[in-house]
Structure 1
Amino acid sequence: MADLETRELEYFVAVAEELHFGHAAARLAIAQPALSKAVRRLENRLEVKLLERSSRSVRLTPAGEALLEHGRHALNAIGAAAEKTRRAPDRQSHLRLVIKPGGDANLLSAILAAYAGRPEARQVDIVFGGATDRADYVRDGRADLGLLYVPFDDMTGLDHETLQVEGRVAILPPDHRLASQTAVTLADLTREALPRWKGVRWTGVPETEGGPEVADLAEALQMIRLGRTIAVLPNSLAQPLQPDLVYRPVTDAPHNELVLAWSQDDRRRLVASFVTAAVDAARAAGTT
């Protein structure tokens, strides 16, 4: 049985996520031919084809899909071990909370105030993550807790408490065929091109076409303005409203949850205390 090295996994995961050798090589800061050879060597050692290559595209095989999933978890575990070792001296002195800018549903101030009022409160550092990587911050130890959205974020390895349950809204250009309606349904959105969020395979609506890849909300809004896509987001993430775009509730979309998440292995009292304060603050705000 072939052994895998961390670097090999990093190389493969980069290619699998980018589905483009040039982009992956730039991300890894290595030469593209060297990256291509490394992936070929990995396939030879595993005796399985991981990628389908053509002059125009790169696609994952079923074996590649499996290695991407397990490879991500392996790299996260390695990163978590290193980060927790580095942070061992101060893990009891303060907390790190990762959030997406604007992704707190206006609850953050109340949560911090509720926690500050507890006798065991510690300093809370706010860490800003991207649209799709906040769960990784919690899993690998860069943050102790995170404000995440279910079912959009991957909750593997995490425990959580729900702070808010909300519906979803479709964001449309003003000349879109659905813009004249007061509300839309999932059936209305069938075959619409929704953005592919970098690092996330699900668009949020079943049976829709894959639209342009975007890294964050700002990119998605620009693509909507250009008529290249529409987006379906939790109500709170659609704020603040853009005056040149149209917002319509998706009446039959499953509700999503804003949750406070932490590692399943983290049983520290200061984490439990923060979770309790956050749930109390959300309940006082009437969001749970």
Structure 2
Amino acid sequence: MNEVEFRELRYFVAVAEELNFSRAADRLGIAQPPLSRAVRQLERRLDVRLFDRDTRTVTLTPAGLALLDEARHVLTTMAGLTRRIRRAAHPGTPLRVTAKAGMAAGMLRAITGHYTALPGAPAVDILVSGYREQAAMVRDGRADLALLTPPYEARGLELEALAEEPRMAALPTGHPLTRHPTLHPADLEGLPMPRGPGEDGPGPVVHDSAQLLEVVGLGQAVALVPRYLADAHPRPDIVYRPLRDADPYTISVAWAEGNRSQAVALFVRAALELYADVPD
């Protein structure tokens, strides 16, 4: 049998993230020899070398890099499946829905109110989550549904668009681009922009929209923001300019791919009944 085992993927990810067999074994709570044997067995099953090893270093091969992304996705999907099955075994378990603070959270409250008025709707727990956490929470089962705002990784999710907002450029006061009444996305190319934790790029790391505006006001970055955020936060140290030909800022409801729960379907129906103004 050459089928890959779930345990082997979990062990592989630990080694790939630690790049050290001893630390990976400690993290997994096992001894190092069985961990090394499991990795070698995985390499034999796949007929590829996943790591380059010498006496000092462990590095991922191209095949290992490719497997790491897929293995993380498999582990997350399995975690989400396990959580959803456990909740399904208890019919009274509330539906868990999440959004970040701001416009999305306000929409979520409105949808929840509409949903709970529908016949047969289970109870709902609303989770206000952090910056860019929502997609991961649905994939790994911590939430059944989420309202997502870009950017996010859509893999493993099903989505319905609910609302759109034009994008604005947020610039530090005095920036040369503030001389123009409108801008094009190409005007911002090459400029530092805020990035989320774990993302690559030259701009500062931010954890929420308040921090994003602070780094813009300090002149450390420029940013793309939805119009509602610009309207809600006029500041003397930031100038907002409309963007021509920019993709709109879309708020979507998302749930795990393949999740056919009646409660999830009812919640999506409630969301679409309230917010059905997004063109196909």
**TM-score (normalised: structure 1):** 0.73
Paired letter, 2:244? T
Q: Which residue of 2 aligns with 1:257?
A: 250
Listed one character per residue, the Cα deviations across residues 101-148 of structure 1 (whole Å, up to 9, x for unaligned) are 115174233312221221122211111222222111111211111101
1:263–1:5: structure 2 CA closer, same or farther, 3 Å change rule?
A: closer
Paired letter, 1:157? G
Listed one character per residue, the Cα deviations across residues 212-264 of structure 1 (whole Å, up to 9, x for unaligned) are 23333333223222222111133345563141322222112122321111112
CA distance in 2: counterparts of 1:6 and 1:251, whole angstroms = 46
**TM-score (normalised: structure 2):** 0.75
CA distance in 2: counterparts of 1:123 and 1:245, whole angstroms = 42
Q: Which residue of 1 aligns with 2:145?
A: 145
Q: Which residue of 2 aligns with 1:174?
A: 173
CA distance in 2: counterparts of 1:184 and 1:50, whole angstroms = 48
CA distance in 2: counterparts of 1:165 and 1:181, whole angstroms = 25
Select the residue among 205, 223, 238 that pairs with 1:231: 223
Select the residue among 195, 203, 213 that pairs with 2:205: 213
Count matched residues: 257
CA distance in 1: counterparts of 2:52 and 2:166, whole angstroms = 38
Greater shift after overlay, 3-12 or 94-103? 3-12
Instruction: Mark the runs of 5 or more structure 1 residues left unpaired by the alignment.
Output: 31-37, 52-58, 202-208
Contact 2:168 2:241 in 1 (8 A): yes
Listed one character per residue, the Cα deviations across residues 155-211 of structure 1 (whole Å, up to 9, x for unaligned) are 11211211012221111111211123322111211211112222456xxxxxxx632
Give yes or no for the alignment of 1:111 onto 2:123.
no
Contact 1:50 1:64 in 2 (8 A): no
Paired letter, 1:219? Q
1:173–1:128: structure 2 CA closer, same or farther, 3 Å change rule?
A: same
CA distance in 2: counterparts of 1:220 and 1:139, whole angstroms = 26
Give yes or no for the alignment of 1:279 onto 2:278.
no
Paired letter, 1:195? P
Identity %: 34
Listed one character per residue, the Cα deviations across residues 10-56 of structure 1 (whole Å, up to 9, x for unaligned) are 453x569xxxx9xxx9xxx97xxxxxxx99x96996634589xxxxx
Q: Which residue of 2 aligns with 1:55?
A: none
Q: How far 1:274 moved relative to its partner?
A: 1.1
Radius of gyration: which is bigger? 2
Cα RMSD, aligned residues only: 3.7
SS of residue in 2 equivalent to 1:197: coil
SS of residue in 2 equivalent to 1:210: coil
Contact 1:170 1:249 in 2 (8 A): yes
Contact 1:132 1:200 in 2 (8 A): no
Give yes or no for the alignment of 1:183 onto 2:176.
no
CA distance in 2: counterparts of 1:61 and 1:183, whole angstroms = 46
Q: Which residue of 2 aligns with 1:246?
A: 239
SS of residue in 1 equivalent to 2:202: strand
SS of residue in 1 equivalent to 2:146: strand
Q: Which residue of 2 aligns with 1:47?
A: 49
Paired letter, 2:238? L
Paired letter, 1:47? R
SS of residue in 2 equivalent to 1:153: coil
1:250–1:63: structure 2 CA closer, same or farther, 3 Å change rule?
A: farther
Listed as ranges, the matches of 1:122-137 within 5 Å are 122-137=122-137
